[in-house]
Every structure is written in structure tokens, then in C-alpha cells.
Copies of this chain bind each other. A is one copy, B any other.
Amino acid sequence: MNGRMSSNRLPPIRALTPDMDGWGFFLCTQKDVRQSRSGELFMTLFLQDKSGVVRARIANDVARLREEFDAGDFVKVAGRTELFNGRIQLTIDRIRRVNPDQDRSQGFREEDCVLSAARPAAEMWQELEELIQHVRDPFIRQLLQQIMTAQAEKVRVWPAALTVHHAYRGGFLEHILSVARSALTLGAAYGADQDLLTAGALLHDIGKLQELDYDRATSYTRDGNLVGHVTLGTIMVRAATSAIPEFPDVLRSQIEHLIVSHHGHKEFGAPVEPMTIEAMILSAADDLDAKINQVRQALAEEGEGEFTAYHARLGRVLWKG
């Protein structure tokens, strides 16, 4: 394949336009081999890099190429872009699994091929540490330090959800920081307990580290489905507070309340609804951050026109301004 590759390297996915020709490194997250109604085989793929996701198809030589790679592999791909039903699509001529040692010389880097938060992980991690430093209550500070240290590896890379919002590498960290910023400014305006709000913002979704399995692709774990991140997170926090000597019981109750109530309403899966000003602020900040992230994704994916197509989850069209 080497010799026959076009000499043009494709730009990042977010920068693709129709009628480009070239090659690139991607992560293949989905691979379906299907039969057309008239019997021919063809493959539909989803490829991603740091900047976005693109649909791709292979119509020729499918029987051979299907053996060349699997979903979850990094791949080297050559093809051309075209507009298909209003979105960019890549028609693939050649594809093979990446050979890391060899392809590194051509610029392959794993981290460039995984859809990621816009901000670097190190920068976000530092913001997280600063938030924890600002906590005045020593018990809350210790709690946050211990949980975040223990979970650091996951916290740095986890997505915040399977599909709905912040569904990319670093999305979890991006989301909790954003919720923390909002909750703290709202909390300042309403004279709420800032230490509790920091704890709530950083811990409300901590159960997602057990709910989701993430290794380039994301899936639900058994506990994620059967127990759910709201309860899993409360259990994690209970274990952590139990390990801190003399952790005040009333503080533990309040933090657990922030977690169990953060979905705001029973019908959204909160077994208990917010009973404190801090819980109301946290729930509002979380909901708003999730909605705005969905709006941004919808705006980023859309083509022409002043409004997006109907957004099924939000139940409305969105204005593109």
C-alpha cells in the first residue's frame, strides 16, 4: 500500500471539505459489512481523529479489505471526500491497520486520532487541582484529593457520556470543571456554601468512572446498567468518607444528597429531589452544561440554513444565529 498512497495528507476531520483527495491516520470506531438489496457487499465505517468524526464507505474489494482491520483499530486510509445527503463522507480506496513503529515516522500519533476535548488534559487537570486547593473545609479538601488521586488515570481521559454530551476523550473532566465554574459563580451570587458546591460539581458524576468502560470506544459496564452512576457514585463517596477519620456525618449527608439529587427530578432518575440551595444550584448547572454541549455539537455538525434540523433529544430546532 505504501507506494501507491497519494502524496497529499488530508487535513483534520473538522476541516474536511468536498472533493479532497489524500490519506490520513484515524481511529475506526465502527465497522459494518452489509449486503446491498441487490446482493453486493459494502462496508460502512466511522472514523475519528482528535477534531471530529466522519462517515466512510468502501464499495470495492470488500471481501479482502474487511480482513485488514477491525473496529477499535487505528487505520491508515486513502480516499476522497464527497458530499452525501448534506454531510461530508469519505469514499475509501485503500485501508490498513496502523503499524505503530513504522507509521510513527509518517507522523502517526495515537492521541491525534482520538476524538478529544478541545483543552489539553494537563491544563484541565491543573484547574482541577486548583479548585481543590481553594476548598477551605479540610474534610472536603481531603475527600476530593483522595478520590481524584485514586481515580486520576480515568479522570484524565474519560468521556462524560456514551452519546449524549461530552462524549469524547477528556469529556468527563471538561464537564465537571465547567459545572464547577458555573456552580461557584451562582453560589457566590446566592451566598451558598462554596466548598459543598465544589464537592458536588467534582463528584456528582464520579459514578460514571464505573458506569462507563472507555478504551478509545465507550460502552456501559454491567454495574453501569444494573446499578447506575448515581448510586455508584454515592457508594464511592461513602467508601471515601468512611476512610477519613472523623469525617463529619452531616457533611457526608450533604455531599451524598448532592449526588443522589443531581438529576433534579424523579423522572430524570433522581431518587431524591434537591432539598438545599446547593443541590438546586448544582442540578441547574449540570443540566445547563449538558444542554449547551449538545447545542454546540448540533451547530458544529450542521450544514446550511438559519436553523438546525429537528433535534430529537431536545425536541426542537436550534438557531444558528
Residues of A within 8 A of B (CB): 32, 34-40, 42, 59, 84-85, 178, 181-182, 185-186, 189-190, 220, 222-223, 225-228, 230-231, 234-235, 238, 250, 253-254, 256-257, 260, 266-277, 280-281, 284, 287-288, 291-292, 295, 306-307, 315-319, 321
Are B273 and A227 interface neighbours, CB within 8 A?
A: no
List of 4 A-B pairs having minimum Cβ-Cβ separation, nearest first: A36-B37, A185-B185, A226-B257, A228-B272
Least distance between A93 CB and chain B CB atoms (Å): 13
Contacts known (A181-B189, A231-B234); A316 close to B271, Cβ less than 8 A = no
Q: Which residues in B have their C-beta under 8 angstroms from that of A231? A: 230-231, 234, 256, 260, 271-272
Contacts known (A226-B254, A307-B220); A318 close to B275, Cβ less than 8 A = yes
Q: Which residues in B have their C-beta under 8 angstroms from that of A268? A: 266
With CB as the reference atom, state the residue of chain B lying closest to A281: B288
Least distance between A82 CB and chain B CB atoms (Å): 9
Sample of 11 more A-B contacts, CB < 8 Å, known A37-B40, A280-B292, A280-B295 = A37-B37, A38-B42, A182-B186, A220-B307, A226-B253, A226-B272, A231-B256, A275-B316, A276-B318, A281-B292, A284-B284
Are B271 and A271 interface neighbours, CB within 8 A?
A: yes
Least distance between A63 CB and chain B CB atoms (Å): 14
For this complex, 29 residue pairs linking A to B, each with C-beta atoms less than 8 Å apart, are A37-B37, A182-B185, A185-B186, A185-B189, A190-B292, A220-B307, A222-B250, A223-B256, A225-B275, A226-B254, A226-B256, A226-B319, A228-B272, A230-B231, A231-B260, A231-B272, A260-B271, A269-B271, A269-B272, A270-B271, A273-B315, A275-B316, A276-B319, A276-B321, A277-B295, A280-B291, A280-B295, A281-B288, A284-B288
Q: How far is the CA of A309 from the CA of B291 in the complex (A)?
A: 26
Are A222 and B253 interface neighbours, CB within 8 A?
A: yes
Q: How far is the CA of A320 from the CA of B40 in the complex (A)?
A: 34
With CB as the reference atom, state the residue of chain B lying closest to A276: B319
With CB as the reference atom, state the residue of chain B lying closest to A270: B271
With CB as the reference atom, state the residue of chain B lying closest to A185: B185
Least distance between A201 CB and chain B CB atoms (Å): 12
With CB as the reference atom, state the residue of chain B lying closest to A227: B256
Least distance between A122 CB and chain B CB atoms (Å): 21
Q: How far is the CA of A276 from the CA of B223 in the complex (A)?
A: 13
With CB as the reference atom, state the residue of chain B lying closest to A256: B227
Q: How far is the CA of A190 from the CA of B177 in the complex (A)?
A: 12
